[in-house]
Structure formats: C-alpha cells, structure tokens
Structure 1
Amino acid sequence: MTWEKLGQIYRFKAIDELLISHASNPLAVHLQDDIFRVFFSGRDKENKSSVGYVDIDIIEKQVVAQCKKAVFQYGERDSFYSHGVSIGNMYEVDDTKYIQFMAWQIRNQGHWRGDIGRLIIDDNLERMKLSPNSVFIGCDEEDKVSLSYSWVVFDEGIYKMWYGSTVDWTSENSEMIHVIKYATSKDGETWTRHGLAIPYELGVAQAFSRPTVIKDSSGYHMWFSYRSGDGTKYRIGYAFSLDGIQWDRKEDSGIDVGKVGKWDSEMICYPFVFEHKHKKYMLYNGNDFGKDGFGLAVLKEDK
C-alpha cells in the first residue's frame, strides 16, 4: 500500500473572527462531478474551534468556493462544547444527515476533556445545529475519562462506530493512552459499546485519534493519527480487519511526513479517506495540527 501525495490543496486564509487559523479534521462530502465540499475545524484567537468549509475540485486540485463565515460555532462558557468542535464524518439515519464531533471543554483551569456531540446538517450542506442540545455520547463505566473523534457507518443492517477513548492522561513515558474503541446501534440513537478495537503498545502506538474507515471486498481498512510516546509528533497509521471488530495494526500506512521545510515535514494527522471514480483519496493535515491547511493523496494501484 502506497499513497501518492498530490500536494497541499488548501492553504488556509482567515475567513472571519471564528476562523482565523487551522483547517483541521477535513471531512469531504461529494457535491457534483469532481467537486467536494470539505468541512474543517478552524480556530479563533483563543484557540477555540468552529466549523467552516471550502469547495475543491479534487482532480484539478483547485479551490472553487469557500464559506463566508463559520457554519457552526463552539458553545457558551458552561456548555459541553465550550472550547471547540472537532468533526468526524457525515452519515445518514432515516434520510437525516448527521455529523458527530469531539466536544472540547476545560473546567476550572483543569485538564481538557471531551464528549461526543451530534450535529444535523441541512440538505444544502450550509447550516448545522445541535441534535440533541446536550452530550450525545458521554463517559460511562466503559469510557471513564474522556472521548474523542468518531466514525460512523451503516453496514450489515446496523450502525457501526469507531471512536476515541482516554484510558489515562499519562503513562510511564509521559504520553497519554488514548485508544480506538468500537460500538454498534440498531437505530443510530442508542449505542452499545464493545471495548477496544485497535491494539495499542506503549512506546510504539499509544495515543490514537480520528479514525477513518472504508470497507471493500477484502475487508475493513482504517487509517488514524497516532503518537508513539517517544516524542515523535503525529503520524498516520493503518489497521485491517475482516469483520470490523478484530483489527490487525500494521506498522506501515504507506504515507509519511514530507521533506524538511515542507508544510507536512514534522507531522501528518487527521486522515479522511474517501472514494471517487474507483480511486481512494486521503485528505490529511500537516504541521501544527493543520494550521496552514490540508493536503490530498491518492492510493496507488497495486501492480
């Protein structure tokens, strides 16, 4: 498996007072022909994240339009998403389009933590609103500390979700242990949690985030961000599964950081993999969690 980088296709420029830096967590939705609307999480001067978008022709690798202002804003001071909104993927339940998001919050100057919120997006892909107006999926006995990015698909008659969960804020190498778990739902509303999905290993891969999953004739493929705990910044990892439950984590994802001085020379993270015209594409962020925008890669065909 090898990804061919097609370059940084979106270089971020300030849009409004809520979106002055970053285009993190790119999420592609097909509009027409080769045009995709790519939603992202941008930040304001206080580093709080809201949602914007840009429309891109992925074949010509050109920006054709962008939002004039944020389409969804982080919440009030005491809300569950008071410090930011980091988006996952879009999926449908009974013809309603949803996007789940990691809801950031900091209480009493303590450590940040996350819950999972849910947005409804209108058919024009222009406006978003909370649904429900509270935490959609929060911590419980399975996930006691903090939650993060989720990826949801309807597959084999049920909804399947892979999501991030914090085991501990620190470990023996001072890196957090944040893993990817699995849950299912019959109706997209009530979820049953099934525990760990991707095996982790201290000092190798122990801080995961932002899973993206595609199923094909061979099985389930997942890409994700991860840190090893040795001080290396985010890299993109890969895992394979025959059933979506038991996963084999691979050492090589087929994509790595760029050359010294490039926009992705220090870090690559927050992958979003999607298919178009029988090819698999990946949107991803580079240095500083996507401060300067995002890039595009295409999976090279095996020969």
Structure 2
Amino acid sequence: MKWEKLGLVCTADRFGVDVPTRVMVPTPVFVNEDTIRVFVTVCDKDNIGRPYYVDVDARDPRKVLRLSERPVMDVGTAPSFDEHGVVVAQVLKTRDGKLQMYYSGFERFRDVRYKIFTGLATSSNNGESFQRVKTTPILGGSDYESTFRCAPFVIEFEDRFSMWYVAGSSWETIRGKQVPRYSLKYLESPDGIEWPVEGRSCMELQHDEHGFGRPWIEIDEHGTYHLYYSIRVCSLAAYRLGYATSEDGLNWVRKDAEMGLEPTPGSFDSNGLSYSAIIEAHGSTYCFYNGNDFGREGFAVSKLIK
C-alpha cells in the first residue's frame, strides 16, 4: 500500500480541556454520506481520557466541520472499572440503526499501574451522547486474562457478533518503565453484550514486541479479512503500524511491511504511529491514526493512492 499523508486533522487544544495531553485512538463512523464522525479520546493533565467527536468532511477529511462541546460520556463513578479513563475503541452502527460504543476502561491500582477492561455504551442520537449498557465491564478480569481485556473491534454478522481484542495478565519493564504485555484474541457472542471469559489466541507477539494496539478489521468483496493494528516495539519504546490478512479471521498472515505508513523525520509522527482506522468514502480510502506519544499533537489522516 502507498499512502499520501494529509497531515493533522485536529489538535488537543481545540476541545476546551484543561491542559490536554493528547487526542488518541481516532474512531470513524459515517453520520451521513457527507460527514464522518471521528470519535476520539481526549486526555487531561491527569492523563484521564474522555470521549469526544470531531465531524469531518467525507470528501476531504482534513476539513473539520464541528467538534463536540463536551464529552459524549464521562468516566465512571468511583470505584469502577472506568473511573480513570474511557478510551473509545470502536463505534459500531448496528442493524437497527443505533450506535454501540465499545471502549477500554482504565482503573489505577497500587500494585500495578492500571487494569483495562471493556465497557459498552449505546447512543440513540447519532453519537451526541452515550449511556452505559452496564456499569460493570462486558469483558472483565478472568482467571485466563486477569489484567487486560480491552481495545475491542466488533463485527455484527447475521448469526453472531465477533470480537477481536487484546488481552494479557503480565507486565514487563522496558527502559525502566512498566508496560503491559498482551496478544490478539478472538471471541463470539449472540448479542454483543455477553461474552465468554477467555478468547482464542489468533496472533502472538514476535521477538522485540510486547503489545498490540487497537485492531481494525475490514472484509473485502472476496471475503478476505484485512487487519490494521499497532505493534509496540520494545527496542523503540514506541508503536509502529502493522497489517495482516486472513481467510477466516482467525489465522492471520502478517504483512507488516506492506502497510506503507512510516515515521516522517521532524514531524508529529517522527517517532511513533499508532491506532490506525480505515474508512472508505466516495471512492477513496482513508487511514486515521496517531503520531508521537499516542496523539500528543492530535490525530492525522492519510489517503490511499496505490
């Protein structure tokens, strides 16, 4: 793949947040044929994230049409699994026309930096606001995945909901900093709310890797699955973008070199690229993503040209 980098779309200082630190995990969905609503998580000075949205022109996603004036949902009330952050992973438009926001909820602890589990909220007003389906996580800690069950991507099929997510139970120290270690897992659900306590492993870490970022999956007209994801590289202490394909959504062939988006020296993405999300609009394919420090300067977009 070959991409044209179109640059930053929206910076952190545009949301009215007190000392914002980053705008992370851009998550696009169509509001109508003219507008892509990109949900993002804006982190404050305490590094607590809340979800907002940025409406962009579907024909030119560099053009910002509107920003949400307040978070579409607040963090949970203490003590809860999402009291220290709500990070949007995916907004799914269901067959009945509602929006379902699958998100990662952060809770800090004394013995570990945090635990991250998955929550679900719904919207009946096109994403202007969301209400929790449950105050407890839909993917909570289990004997098999005790510390991280998060960053979900869900596809609604006729007979099931399928989820790809990252999960793990351990931490490791990289360059003096504790970082989580997790791999890619797969689950199925009859309703998108109730899920099994353990997923099937479908892609393991390789040498010099210790984590995957939010998966994003597209299925083409031939039924081939295309996975866009982030890879946390130990030696770099930063993310790079990865790409893989599969015929069944379970057995993936990694083709990371084909992703085609690399750091640009001296730019907002000179050190890291993460959280890729793909959307097709009016005959063009766009990739929204974050640059250095998980979106310290905002989120960006690139256009597929080959």
For the criterion TM > 0.5, the same-fold answer is: yes
2:110 paired residue number: 108
Matched AA of 1:105: E
2:20 paired residue number: 20
Q: How does 1:193-208 map to 2 (within 5 A)?
A: 193-203=198-208, 205-208=209-212
Quote the Cα distance in structure 1 between the aligned partners of 2:137 and 2:119: 5
Match of 2:188 among 177, 184, 187: 184
Matched AA of 1:45: K
Quote the Cα distance in structure 1 between the aligned partners of 2:199 and 2:20: 39
Matched AA of 1:142: Y
Q: Which range moved further: 24-33 or 3-12?
A: 3-12
Aligned partner of residue 301 in structure 2, secondary structure: strand
Quote the Cα distance in structure 1 between the aligned partners of 2:216 and 2:18: 26
Quote the Cα distance in structure 1 between the aligned partners of 2:169 and 2:253: 20
Alpha-carbon contact 1:19-1:70 (below 8 Å) kept: no
**Residue deviations 1:30-86 (CA, integer Å, cap 9, x gap):** 123332111100011211000111111143321111111222121233111111011
Quote the Cα distance in structure 1 between the aligned partners of 2:182 and 2:103: 17
Alpha-carbon contact 1:43-1:50 (below 8 Å) kept: yes
Q: Which range moved further: 217-226 or 184-193?
A: 184-193
Alpha-carbon contact 1:236-1:253 (below 8 Å) kept: no
Aligned partner of residue 168 in structure 1, secondary structure: strand
Quote the Cα distance in structure 2 between the aligned partners of 1:243 and 1:111: 36
Quote the Cα distance in structure 2 between the aligned partners of 1:169 and 1:258: 27
Quote the Cα distance in structure 1 between the aligned partners of 2:231 and 2:21: 23
Relative to structure 1, the CA distance from residue 19 to residue 96 in structure 2 (aligned partners, 3 Å threshold; closer, same or farther) is farther
Aligned partner of residue 183 in structure 1, secondary structure: strand
- The yes-or-no answer on 1:169 pairing with 2:171 is yes
Matched AA of 2:214: R
Q: TM-score, normalised by structure 2?
A: 0.90
Q: How does 1:58-69 map to 2 (within 5 A)?
A: 58-60=58-60, 61-69=62-70
Q: How does 1:1-303 map to 2 (within 5 A)?
A: 1-17=1-17, 20-60=20-60, 61-91=62-92, 92=94, 94-108=96-110, 110-155=112-157, 157-170=159-172, 176-192=180-196, 193-203=198-208, 205-218=209-222, 219-301=224-306
Matched AA of 1:57: D
Q: How many aligned positions are there?
A: 300
Matched AA of 1:56: V
Quote the Cα distance in structure 2 between the aligned partners of 1:194 and 1:260: 39
Alpha-carbon contact 1:40-1:52 (below 8 Å) kept: yes
Percent of pairs with identical residues = 26
Quote the Cα distance in structure 2 between the aligned partners of 1:77 and 1:208: 28
Alpha-carbon contact 1:180-1:209 (below 8 Å) kept: no
Q: Which range moved further: 32-41 or 8-17?
A: 8-17
Relative to structure 1, the CA distance from residue 39 to residue 267 in structure 2 (aligned partners, 3 Å threshold; closer, same or farther) is same
- List alignment gaps of at least 5 residues for structure 2: none
Quote the Cα distance in structure 2 between the aligned partners of 1:280 and 1:110: 40
Relative to structure 1, the CA distance from residue 18 to residue 179 in structure 2 (aligned partners, 3 Å threshold; closer, same or farther) is farther
Following superposition, the deviation at residue 180 of structure 1 comes to 1.1
Following superposition, the deviation at residue 125 of structure 1 comes to 1.9
**Residue deviations 1:110-152 (CA, integer Å, cap 9, x gap):** 3211110111122332011111121111122331232220000
Matched AA of 1:55: D
Quote the Cα distance in structure 1 between the aligned partners of 2:144 and 2:280: 33
Following superposition, the deviation at residue 176 of structure 1 comes to 4.1
Quote the Cα distance in structure 2 between the aligned partners of 1:117 and 1:258: 32
Alpha-carbon contact 2:89-2:153 (below 8 Å) kept: yes
- List alignment gaps of at least 5 residues for structure 1: none
Aligned partner of residue 252 in structure 1, secondary structure: helix
Quote the Cα distance in structure 2 between the aligned partners of 1:213 and 1:258: 22
Following superposition, the deviation at residue 103 of structure 1 comes to 0.4
